[in-house]
Structure 1
Amino acid sequence: MKIIIARHGEAETTSPDGTDRSRSLTSKGKADVLKMANFFKIGFKITKIYHSPYERTTNTAKIYTDILHPERETESLDHLKAGQDMAQVCPIIREYSNSDTILLVGHSPDVSVFAEKLLGISGVGKSFLFSPGSALAINVPREKFHDGQIIWFVCPDFLG
């Protein structure tokens, strides 16, 4: 199975209600996610998109959905909230085949920690620096969600 782990695009530093979960994407964040979505389109047919219920990840997932047209409906998961262990999604995505591609939109440092788990790296989330909008594609067997292989790691600034 291919899993694309994406960090949300650049977000505002504050929200109108003062909560972290309500921060929206900046115009740069939206533009960066759009660039990334067009990059994803080149090599992948996305089966499903899961995202954190926070505003900035929901905004990011909407852009991905509009561009990538996943085969199944995009879905918010509490397991992807900031500070959660993203590995909690593994039992949910185990139902997909090894030929499917799942896009997960989450937060830092959770995306880094999850990437390390899928790759079999024993670390504390410091192996990958996910700047806003960055994504890592991994090929990993759904039978164990371990010992994955990196397909690519891309930051929107690399795309022009």
Structure 2
Amino acid sequence: MKKYLLLVRHAKAEDSSMMLKDFDRELLSQGIMDAARLGNFLFREKFTVNSIKTSAAARAFQTVKVLAEQLKIDTDSIEQIEKLYDGGPQAYLSAVNTTAENVQTLMLCGHNPDISFFAEYLTRDQVNSLSTCDLVVMQFEDLLWAEVSGKTGKVRKHISPKDLK
């Protein structure tokens, strides 16, 4: 059975400043529009997302909230994971490996450089650094979520907000 992992880097957010903790940075209007565009694309392409896990940072949660709204998914079902904020690629792997087996499509939202490193770790394909609100769709063949690890996935799509304008 095929499983799909949708990796999303958070959308465009406020710049860091002395007055605002990095964790609390919120999306800019451009980030909200990019996330809505991406969510609308996923809805039109008939992606069925069964589970959404995200960094607990404001900008990541706001990104998946907009995506979920476009996909007609209850935003209360979004799982926030503190370690996806600064836990490194290992935190992303743990989030994937602990996913319930009845989930066919998982969406995971986080931050650079960790999410880009994680994308490259999972596949033999070159992913490079994800820009804000980039989406990488990966496919896994005949694996349990607990078995997903290095070089077990295949990139099926890499979509940037620029591709959707």
Q: Which residue of 2 aligns with 1:79?
A: 83
1:47 aligns with 2:50: yes
Change (3 A) 1:15 1:103: farther
- Please name the residue that 2:67 is paired with: 64
The separation in 2 between residues aligned to 1:87 and 1:151, in whole angstroms, is: 19
Alignment of 1:1-160 (within 5 A): 1-14=3-16, 17-41=19-43, 42-70=45-73, 73-85=77-89, 86-93=92-99, 95-97=100-102, 100-120=104-124, 127-140=127-140, 141=143, 142=145, 144-146=147-149, 147-160=152-165
Residue 156 of structure 2: SS of its match in structure 1? Answer: strand
Unaligned runs of 5+ in 2: none
In structure 2, how many angstroms separate the alpha carbons of the residues matched to 1:22 and 1:143?
A: 31
Aligned amino acid, residue 96 of structure 1: E
Identify the range of structure 1 (41-50 vs 74-83) with the bigger mean alpha-carbon deviation. Answer: 74-83
1:44 maps to a residue whose letter is F
Aligned amino acid, residue 37 of structure 2: K
Instruction: State the one-letter code of the partner of 1:50.
Output: K
Task: State whether residues 48 and 70 of structure 1, in contact with CA within 8 Å, keep that contact through their aligned partners in structure 2.
Answer: no
Q: What RMSD over aligned residues (CA atoms) do the two structures have, in Å?
A: 2.1
Deviates more, 1:15-24 or 1:58-67: 15-24
TM normalised by structure 1 equals: 0.86
TM-score, structure 2 normalization: 0.84
SS in 2 for 1:43: coil
Residue type matched to 2:20 in 1?
A: G
- Gap regions ≥5 residues in structure 1: none
What count of residue pairs does the alignment treat as equivalent? Answer: 154
After superposition, the Cα gap between the structure-2 partners of 1:61 and 1:11, relative to the gap in structure 1 and judged at 3 Å, is: same
Distance 1:89 1:151, change over 3 A: same
